[in-house]
Structure 1
Amino acid sequence: MSPRGELVAVKRIHPRLVLSNAGFGFASIMKTLSLAQHPHIVPIIGFSQALGERIIVMEFVGSVILDFYLHENADGASLLDWNRRLRIAAGVARGIEDLHEGVAWHQI
Structure 2
Amino acid sequence: MNAVSPQIGEADRLRLAPGVMLRNDRRRGEWMLMAPERLLVLDEMALAVVRACVGAEVADVAAGIDRLTAEYDAPRAEVAADVLEMLTDLRNKGYVVT
Shared fold, TM over 0.5: no
Provide TM-score, normalisation by structure 1: 0.30
With normalisation by structure 2, the TM-score equals 0.32
Flag the structure with more relative contact order, 1 or 2, with Cα contacts below 8 A and sequence separation at least 6: 2
